[in-house]
Structure 1
């Protein structure tokens, strides 16, 4: 029983395969048997397969309208095509395709060799047309690169060299796409263009997400180069960093700090940041406070402060200096002093320091007290009601006013020379005098 069951299991797929190889064409089946009709069908099938390649090993037998195909074919696809072809002949009741794939190496390789020879011949005949398409492609590309290298009109149309270079890149890209379209049209493969452009668009989208920060920085560089918020050697503050502007590149803004260090800030940060330009206006104001005793005649002190500021040679008469009471403390009342200088010739820090020195000298010479904060410490164990409070004696000196010291902007000029040397390098600079200012 075990062997019988094994035999039935092995024979079941064979019977199913035989059923699958039997084809029943549609249509009415005639009741008349004709041996002449069977011979005519067999002859017609042999004539057809004789004209086709790959069916030399196929035998045909027809009985009562049933066609039996035996022998070998090149592959399974050829056997299926044979069944479909025979089924189109009129008068066939059923088709039993019992053909199998040949294992002859020569028969299997001959069709592949024939296809290879046909493709090689087609390639050789296609070479002249491909050469013409390649020549047209190179000619258009070279023309585009030649036009992009012109100085005019791109430099005239662009506000700076960076934008002009972008114009040139766009011209090159347009000519490359035009050359590709012409070449594909010559060889009759324009259908590939949509696939190429679609793949390029998907790749560009993926790259755009991957380098989003770089793209943002590039766009910010374009915007900063068109509307320049600063010039070379301007003293600016960007995101807490203060220094003189060296250059604006396609990637970053470079500052020279007052300590002599290079500060490189990405243009995307600069474009969104709060920028303080200290050099845009030549006039700049400095301010300082001085604490006065509470019993001071503040009207007279204010007038003395104004007169002291006005006589300083580096202080501008317009806008005028100002003095006012700023704060009232525990032991002093503060006066606020402000004055304006021309920072192109005067150092703002030296001017402020010299103004403080002259103001202290003038107040002490006039007898105005500028006491330090006083703190009284009481010991409750030792203090008695009849014990007199300790007296303090203030010893003050009243130096005579002296001539103002030199407050020229020598340090700033030295930094400007360093910036000029840095700008004389080979790196491109997007800052131009012709560009508009915000």
Structure 2
């Protein structure tokens, strides 16, 4: 009789354990499905609200991650794992992981800050982490830049956050600056007038701020002029190259010389000096 009762109690315990495990598995399966649906719903809602693309992806993944974490805790409790030891184990595990991944956590923290405060967005041309390039993607751990030669740089977010970030696109316009030397015998006013006409002839050069040309310095063989003008951010490289060529062609047409450094070499005949 005692053996029968013991076996009956064991069977009931096994049935209870199996039932709890089945319920925990069911919670996981249904919960994962619901978490994905809720995260996608939040993503669509943020898209309709015209949130930033980078922020949408980050918040969607954050919502999904939090839901999965809560789901795992619920499933473990349903399976019979006590809550207090579970939380203690999770805390100890989190501390150990944090100590082992200090660099990665620094990248993660800066990734969150970059996404939340948005000093730059996808498509911006920036200087960050010692690199100049167009932002292709912003992840929690790193930022991907396409450099000027079309190579790809994957820059850790901690390196970007630890240095100054220069965003060349944020204002919508950029200043181009050229330096040109003219001969000392050239009329400076004539040279400036020629350049001013080039400014007025190019519709890509903005009139506000007003473009200008100034005398920068008196060099060894030339009077050095500096040209400054503002253009839209997307036109800066093309306009700068076109303007430099136009200045050269206009100076040639107007007879304005662009001198180059010259050296005078003297040969001394030692024999002729009686040495």
What's the TM-score, normalizing by structure 1?
0.51
Q: For residue 312 of structure 1, what is the aligned residue in structure 2?
A: 202
In the TM superposition, 1:6-405 aligns within 5 A as 123-151=10-38, 154-155=42-43, 156=45, 159-184=55-80, 190=82, 193-344=83-234, 346=235, 348-379=236-267, 381=269
Change (3 A) 1:326 1:202: same
CA-based RMSD? 3.4
Q: How many correspondences in the alignment? A: 262
CA distance in 2: counterparts of 1:292 and 1:173, whole angstroms: 70
Change (3 A) 1:316 1:197: closer
CA distance in 2: counterparts of 1:162 and 1:297, whole angstroms: 60
CA distance in 2: counterparts of 1:277 and 1:119, whole angstroms: 75
* Structure that is richer in helix per residue: 2
Change (3 A) 1:118 1:274: farther
In the TM superposition, what is the alpha-carbon distance from 1:381 to its structure 2 partner?
4.9
Change (3 A) 1:195 1:233: closer
Aligned partners of 1:163 and 1:222 also within 8 Å:
no
Secondary structure in structure 1 of the residue aligned to 2:264: coil
Change (3 A) 1:280 1:304: same
What's the TM-score, normalizing by structure 2?
0.77
Aligned partners of 1:322 and 1:339 also within 8 Å:
yes
Q: Is there any run of 5+ residues in structure 1 with no aligned partner, and where?
A: 1-115, 385-438
Change (3 A) 1:176 1:275: same
In the TM superposition, what is the alpha-carbon distance from 1:206 to its structure 2 partner?
1.4
Q: Map Cα deviations across residues 58-93 of structure 1 (whole Å, 9 max, x no partner).
A: xxxxxxxxxxxxxxxxxxxxxxxxxxxxxxxxxxxx
CA distance in 2: counterparts of 1:221 and 1:305, whole angstroms: 46
CA distance in 1: counterparts of 2:175 and 2:184, whole angstroms: 28
Secondary structure in structure 2 of the residue aligned to 1:340: strand
Secondary structure in structure 2 of the residue aligned to 1:150: helix
Change (3 A) 1:313 1:139: closer
